[in-house]
Structure 1
Amino acid sequence: MNDLTPPNRCRIVLIAPPLVPAEHICAAFEGGDIASLILPDNGMDDASFQALAERIVPIAQGAGIAVIIAGDSRIAGRVQADGIHVEAKPRELAETIERLAGKMMVGA
């Protein structure tokens, strides 16, 4: 970003599709001004999902892209993601926000 870039601009949010290798997800980072990547487990078991996230998170963050792990705060913490995206009712969401406040972003 240069000094001429307006502070209020549209940016891209990517959502990783199922069955796409980490290399292809990371290649998409070249596609524009990307703010964040939402990384869902897409049906993977915990170990496979964490391994995928471990490959993608440092590359994305190195490119200035925040990584949001969908649904699993344990994996989000282990891979040092920037946030978590949850599907929750208001009370559960409030509890999640309170528990993770100051540690990572929480989206719903």
Structure 2
Amino acid sequence: MNRPRLFLVTPPVFDPADFAPKLKDALSGGDVACVLIYMPQASSKALQDTAERLVPIIQDGGAAALIYGDTQVAGRTGADGAHVETSLEDIKLAVESLQPERIVGAGGTKLRHEDMEIAETGVDYIFYGKLDLDEREEAHPKTIDRAQWWAELFETPCVALAGNTITSIEDTAATGADFVALKDAVWNHNEGPAAAVAAANAILENHPFVDVE
């Protein structure tokens, strides 16, 4: 697929039983590359219990299931990989323990040289955007700036976090990022998650990658 793909992020706090139908609905709406189970305050047990319920739903929907911050839970639940933001050393350990069978992504950086150091570890993607910030309608200007810089110069794929509206995808996709991440724009969409994913994919179709000879 020669255009950006969707990278969905769960809410930070949710009831797995209530969320599961929303997740199934989202995945029925069109192409989704992966879903990050993002529960930063959850215990390992709560995270594992949730992942055991959601990972099969994500995989049955044709997407990769990623676990935020816990490589052990990723391994135990059959998830497709983990997303690590704690430290460069933790990222290196995740790469060593999970690759090549599983995906390792990283983010949460503040400086460009940190991004380059992370890329050298062999991660599968770099994530731009702060997952712990309250979402605005549009993507944060720093997210746009960093994703555009990275996409133009480096081969490691990057993810750009959009805002809490579907239309905010336009600016993030225009950076050249390989993936566009959405949170509330999908889960709180007034027509439901499937409609949100369909609308998002319609926008992404208008942002094909330019082949450089």
Q: CA deviation at 1:98?
A: 1.7
Q: CA deviation at 1:76?
A: 0.6
Q: Secondary structure at the match of 1:34?
A: coil
Q: Tell me what 2:99 maps to.
A: 101
Q: CA deviation at 1:100?
A: 1.9
Q: Tell me what 2:6 maps to.
A: 12
- Render the CA deviation track for 1:31-56: whole Å, top value 9, x for unaligned: 32100000012422222221211111
Q: CA deviation at 1:91?
A: 3.2
TM-score by length of 1: 0.81
Counting aligned pairs with the same residue, the percent is 37
Aligned residues between the structures: 102
What are the within-5 Å matches in structure 2 for residues 1-108 of structure 1?
A: 7-17=1-11, 18-20=13-15, 21-108=19-106
- Whole-Å Cα distance in 1 between the matches of residues 22 and 99 of structure 2? 32
Residues 38 and 67, structure 1, Cα contact 8 Å, conserved in 2: yes
Taking a change above 3 Å as real, the CA distance of residues 91 and 47 of structure 1, as seen in their structure-2 partners, is closer
Residues 22 and 52, structure 1, Cα contact 8 Å, conserved in 2: no
Q: CA deviation at 1:92?
A: 3.0
- Whole-Å Cα distance in 2 between the matches of residues 100 and 27 of structure 1? 29
Q: CA deviation at 1:61?
A: 0.7
- Whole-Å Cα distance in 2 between the matches of residues 52 and 43 of structure 1? 13
Residues 9 and 37, structure 2, Cα contact 8 Å, conserved in 1: yes
Gaps of 5+ in 2: 107-213
Larger Rg: 1 or 2?
2
Could you tell me which amino acid in structure 2 is paired with residue 19 of structure 1? Answer: F
Gaps of 5+ in 1: 1-6
Q: Secondary structure at the match of 2:33?
A: strand
Q: CA deviation at 1:74?
A: 1.2
- Whole-Å Cα distance in 2 between the matches of residues 30 and 96 of structure 1? 31
Q: CA deviation at 1:58?
A: 1.0
Structure having greater relative contact order (Cα 8 Å, sep ≥ 6): 2
Which range is displaced more, 85-94 or 73-82?
A: 85-94
Q: CA RMSD in A?
A: 1.7
Q: Secondary structure at the match of 1:26?
A: helix
TM-score by length of 2: 0.44
